[in-house]
């Protein structure tokens, strides 16, 4: 079987789906791996790094797509590339089925098997394929570094003969995978860290990393069976707003990570809260692309609101593309291995397998 990948839109996506290390694993499984010229050149990976281990390098992306059995990508390819797809192929990626419904429906009409990995169930067997966790981990880490780079004071407490510099106070909004990594990173760099989340199960995890968990009185546990956050009641939102408003007056840096899968990001930090924050404070919004967790978030812009800087990248992982690609490619390989029948050397779409059933878009 032929497994292929083609270049993403380089302006938006620098990650790749097949690294040389993972290409070697696909070949060991019996796949033929085919990639376009300069596929990973932007990550300082040469075509020779692939061809030396048996990867076939072709010039024409349309030809590559046309002869493929399995196509692995980061994002849904552009329409000019989709036009080269043919029946009975398998497309795997992070395809955002909520926003790309019509385009994906057209692929399904062409009898193309479409798997979107952000739909993976949160079960033990799927952990090695969990692209949301592997990528969010890096995003949480990088969000802290970006915030600290824009903060014009020292982060750890420093005691000098000239006086003491207090440690920066950091608030993490949302203690999922990205939030927990942000807590760990900020703590390691000497900050005093607070965190808040609608899921009460997060309290123990936050405290184990050295953070202080902020919760409203009579908090309800807003967690789905799949382990994701769900929307809060109006009463809870009001109590949470009051707690946040008071807390933010003393906070130097805020990292926002709150997302609800398939929906616009909840606006948690309102205009009135930002107005009461100290000048020089930083807010980094990891939910920027889905609308943002603040009233002023603007994608790929630094908004200065009375001295409070609000940042949010469209793709923060473009700032860590090599590490992100390594993890993503491994996630993909584990998913393909589960899908691949070694005896028949074909794809086995077994709908009794929860991993396959949940990720296949029908």
Give the active site residues: 122, 127, 130, 133, 228
Beta bridge partners of residue 93, listed in sequence order:
116
**Residues contacting 139, CB < 8 A, separation 6+:** 178, 181, 257, 286, 316, 317
Task: Using the structure block, give the residue that is written with the tokens 């779409």.
Answer: 349
Kindly tell me the burial class for residue 197, based on how many C-beta atoms sit within 10 Å of its own C-beta (0-12, 13-18, 19 or more): buried
Q: What are the tokens at 63?
A: 């030809």
Helices 177-188, 131-150: crossing angle, 10 deg rounding: 40
The C-alpha torsion from 48 through 52 and 53 to 56, rounded to 10°, is 70
Q: Which of 237, 199, 183, 19 is nearest to 122 (CA)?
A: 199
Helix (H) / strand (E) containing 108: helix 101-109
Q: Which of 69, 16, 58, 10 is nearest to 34 (CA)?
A: 58
* DSSP letter for each residue of 4-20: E-----TTT----S--H
Report the C-alpha gap between 270 and 286 in whole angstroms.
16
Q: Residue 281, Cβ neighbours under 10 Å: how many?
A: 24
Helix (H) / strand (E) containing 244: helix 234-248
Task: Using the structure block, give the residue that is written with the tokens 């809060």.
Answer: 232
């Amino acid at each position: 079987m032929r497994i292929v990948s083609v270049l993403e839109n380089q302006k938006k996506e620098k990650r790749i789906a097949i690294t040389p290390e993972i290409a070697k694993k696909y070949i060991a499984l019996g796949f033929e791996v085919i990639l376009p010229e300069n596929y990973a050149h932007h990550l300082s990976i040469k075509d020779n790094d692939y061809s030396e281990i048996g990867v076939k390098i072709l010039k024409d992306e349309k030809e590559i797509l046309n002869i493929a059995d399995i196509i692995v990508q980061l994002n849904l390819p552009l329409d000019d590339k989709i036009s080269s797809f043919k029946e009975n192929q398998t497309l795997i990626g992070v395809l955002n089925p909520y926003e790309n419904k019509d385009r994906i429906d057209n692929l399904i009409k062409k009898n193309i098997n479409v798997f979107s990995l952000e739909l993976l169930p949160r079960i033990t067997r799927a952990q090695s394929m969990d692209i949301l966790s592997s990528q969010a981990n890096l995003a949480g880490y990088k969000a802290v570094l970006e915030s600290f780079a824009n903060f014009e004071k020292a982060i750890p407490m420093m005691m000098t003969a000239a006086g003491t510099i207090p440690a920066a106070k950091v608030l993490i909004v949302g203690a999922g995978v990205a939030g927990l990594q942000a807590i760990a990173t900020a703590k390691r760099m000497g900050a005093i860290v607070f965190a808040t989340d609608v899921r009460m199960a997060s309290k123990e995890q936050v405290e184990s990393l050295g953070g202080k968990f902020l919760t409203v009185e009579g908090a309800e546990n807003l967690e789905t069976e799949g382990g994701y956050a769900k929307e809060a009641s109006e009463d809870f939102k009001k109590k949470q707003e009051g707690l946040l408003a008071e807390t933010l007056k003393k906070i130097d840096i805020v990292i926002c990570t709150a997302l609800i899968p398939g929906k616009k990001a909840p606006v948690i930090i309102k205009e009135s809260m930002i107005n009461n924050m100290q000048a020089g404070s930083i807010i980094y919004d990891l939910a920027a692309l889905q609308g943002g967790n603040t009233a002023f978030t603007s994608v790929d812009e630094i908004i200065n609101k009375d001295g409070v800087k609000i940042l949010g990248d469209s793709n923060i992982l473009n700032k860590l593309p090599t590490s992100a690609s390594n993890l993503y490619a491994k996630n993909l390989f584990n998913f393909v291995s589960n899908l691949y029948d070694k005896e028949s050397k074909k794809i086995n779409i077994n709908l009794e397998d929860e991993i396959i059933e949940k990720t296949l878009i029908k």
